[in-house]
A and B are shown apart, each in its own frame.
Chain A
Amino acid sequence: MSEPILEAVDLVKTYTMEDVEVRALRGVSLAVRPGEFVAIMGTSGSGKSTMMNILGCLDRPTSGSYKLAGKEVSKLGRGDLATVRNKVLGFVFQSFNLLARTSAQENVELPMVYAGIGGAERRERATFSLEKVGLGKRLDHTPAQLSGGQQQRVAIARAIVNRPKVILADEPTGNLDSRTSLEIMALFQELGRSGITIVLVTHEPDIAEFTSRVVMMRDGKILSDVAQAPVDARTALANFQEGDA
């Protein structure tokens, strides 16, 4: 067994909203090993979004420890967290979050801009990333000229361009139709096979099927944590019939 790439121990997160204390996480422990494809599931209010924000270094836990790639990050400041997000993590969002009126290539270059990588290398790596997600011929297209699935592919290319250890995907198929969702999941599975750890938040059991481990959350705690044999998205795509979903 290799060392866990993500290791959260007894995470607690408490918000104060209008004088009412909300306990979003009530002692959550989770360890993810390199190469795992984990789905975090739960209804809204289960704490899965808060969990995702903390795992993504966008937020800090009220208490507990969180080690990312062997380094304790739960006490880091805003600037250092930004560097961790830039170097170790990649993000994929439900609404893609691409810069409008900016070409696919420039969108993908953005994380490298903040990593201080020079222009020539940025362009080369952005092109490589876009080829990897199957958009090698659409480098100059702006988000408005791309379909939803293509936009999400650009976002995935952006997430992998800095060679992160972990990709965090927050409802990545939430805005896509069934067929495109399968295509995106197939792409994630492919990335998973190349060794990247993926943590995905979803509320759709159909999507969770394609992962190798499902963590169910409720009321700020982990309800179940089950390893499974993933369904192959390529096969599902081959068998997909219009109107199935």
Chain B
Amino acid sequence: MNLFSTFRVALLALLLNKMRSFLTVLGIIIGVGSVIAMVAIGEGAKAEVQRAFDKMGTNLLVIRSGSAQTSGVRGGAGSQPTLLWTDVDAIRKETLYVTKVAPSLRQSVQILGEGKNWTTSAEGTSPEYFEIRNWTFQYGGPFNEQDVATKAKVAVLGGTVVDNLFGNPADAVGATVRINNVPYEVIGVLARKGQAATGQDADDVVMVPAGTFAAKVQGGLRQYLGGSIYVGAASADDTRRAQAEITTLLRERHKLRDDEPDDFSVSSLAEAASARQEGTETMTRLLAGIALVSLLVGGIGIMNIMLVSVTERTREIGLRMAIGARPGDIRIQFVIEAVVLASVGGLLGVALGFGVATYLSTEFGWATKIDPQIVALALGSSALVGVGFGLYPAHKASRLDPIQALRYE
């Protein structure tokens, strides 16, 4: 018996009992549908995280001061300033793989403008920082090296700060704001980034030249840099090389002996991003695992109905055997019937999964992404479920005695 006609016979047999076939494959439909929907949500979240990290700047390294240790109590990273202002220049000049370097000093400040006040995070930095962190400007532009050197009182505002101080963002450039009661001229408004990967509002920030910040906001730590250093490299590979290079350079500059630990840390955002990715990946696998279990449950439903079908069609099986069907012909017929049943369920499930994913993204704005590989996997595994759970009923059918099967009422 050729495969095509077996498929046709199987499909016809299923169409004769439309309602029953549908209810039988409901388990598979739900199983496959949830696999597709769950993975779509997981993949969407992953893509979202990736986008968020891309916004923060790629190929990025952050160098922080070491931890302070007083009578056995160890502070966190950066609690003991160990980075020097001269380190910034050294990194720029004495490394091969570093393309951009900028200090980043942060402190919470109160800012006044147009009679309103707002508490935000002030950041002291240099012009390269805007490039490293992928900041672009909605109005105006960045401050320059000259401003950093001369400790110019100029500021760049984030979107959230502008919202809270000015009625019209376009009015901000040229206006004067007071940070900790010192007046600054606004020279730029940053284009919005929205929520950062860490969950904070990236636009709730005011940036001033590093020199100005050290003198006016932080109140001077002299040669020590009271913050971190951001470093940009040309590519992901270069980022890893730069990390090693910087570690060697800073250990030398800080005169650390071989047995002493680093008094600074160099961390890469790519690592943080991949850790986040792994988190969502684990979640996706878990959800897909649960969905696969429901696929198995659906398989049991198929086995059940196939056993019923074998009993109902005992006479037909007897007749087929009498006119020349070998046990193998009967077995393949019922296996294919189970596979067709499961695959149709799989296809409907894929449609359901697509529907749910589309609904979630249009109605609730959830990020979803349907991976063709997962669709293929879901369809493949539902066909496999058909084979797996169709084998026993098919085997039972093939073992029937034709004489008794023909007489069966």
A interface residue numbers (CB < 8 A to B): 53, 56, 58-59, 78-79, 82-83, 85-87, 91, 93, 97, 99, 101, 110-111, 113-116, 119, 158, 162
Question: Can you give 22 A-B contacts (C-beta < 8 A)?
Answer: A53-B403, A58-B321, A58-B402, A78-B327, A79-B327, A82-B321, A83-B324, A85-B321, A85-B323, A91-B322, A93-B319, A97-B315, A97-B318, A97-B322, A99-B319, A110-B320, A110-B323, A113-B2, A113-B5, A114-B1, A114-B326, A114-B329
**Cβ contact within 8 Å between A101 and B327:** no
CA distance A78 to B323 in the complex (A): 13
Shortest A104–chain B CB gap in Å is: 15
Which residue of chain B is the closest to A56 with respect to CB atoms?
B322
**Cβ contact within 8 Å between A82 and B327:** yes
CA distance A101 to B15 in the complex (A): 11
CA distance A158 to B319 in the complex (A): 11
Shortest B84–chain A CB gap in Å is: 87
CA distance A109 to B345 in the complex (A): 30
**Cβ contact within 8 Å between A111 and B16:** no
> How many A-B residue contacts, CB cutoff 8 Å?
60
How many of B's residues come within 8 Å of A, CB to CB? 21
**Cβ contact within 8 Å between B319 and A85:** no
Shortest A99–chain B CB gap in Å is: 6
- Chain B interface main SS type: helix
Tell yes or no: B316 within 8 A of A by CB. Answer: yes
**Cβ contact within 8 Å between A82 and B325:** yes
Q: Known contacts A116-B1, A116-B2; is A158 also within 8 Å of B16 by CB?
A: no
Q: A115-B324, A116-B2 are in contact. List 12 more A-B contacts (CB 8 A).
A: A58-B322, A79-B326, A79-B327, A79-B328, A85-B321, A87-B324, A93-B319, A97-B322, A111-B324, A113-B1, A114-B329, A158-B323
Partner of B323 from the list A53, A91, A116 (CB cut-off 8 Å) is A91
Shortest A124–chain B CB gap in Å is: 16
Which residues of chain B come closer than 8 Å to A119, judged between CB atoms? 5
- Chain A interface main SS type: helix
**Cβ contact within 8 Å between A83 and B402:** no
**Cβ contact within 8 Å between A78 and B326:** yes
**Cβ contact within 8 Å between B323 and A111:** yes
Interface string of B323-364 (1 = CB under 8 A from A): 111111100000000000000000000000000000000000
CA distance A107 to B16 in the complex (A): 17
Shortest A206–chain B CB gap in Å is: 25
Which residues of chain A come closer than 8 Å to B322, judged between CB atoms? 56, 58, 85, 91, 97
Which residue of chain B is the closest to A122 with respect to CB atoms?
B5
**Cβ contact within 8 Å between A59 and B327:** no
Shortest B266–chain A CB gap in Å is: 72
CA distance A99 to B325 in the complex (A): 14
Tell yes or no: B310 within 8 A of A by CB. Answer: no
Tell yes or no: B77 within 8 A of A by CB. Answer: no
Which residues of chain A come closer than 8 Å to B318, judged between CB atoms? 97
Shortest B316–chain A CB gap in Å is: 6
Which residues of chain A come closer than 8 Å to B316, judged between CB atoms? 99
CA distance A59 to B1 in the complex (A): 23
Interface string of B292-316 (1 = CB under 8 A from A): 0000000000000000000000011
Which residues of chain B come closer than 8 Å to A58, judged between CB atoms? 321-322, 402-403, 406
Shortest B379–chain A CB gap in Å is: 28
**Cβ contact within 8 Å between A97 and B329:** no
Interface string of B387-409 (1 = CB under 8 A from A): 00000000000000011001000
**Cβ contact within 8 Å between A114 and B402:** no
Which residues of chain B come closer than 8 Å to A114, judged between CB atoms? 1, 320, 323-326, 329
**Cβ contact within 8 Å between A83 and B326:** yes
CA distance A115 to B322 in the complex (A): 13
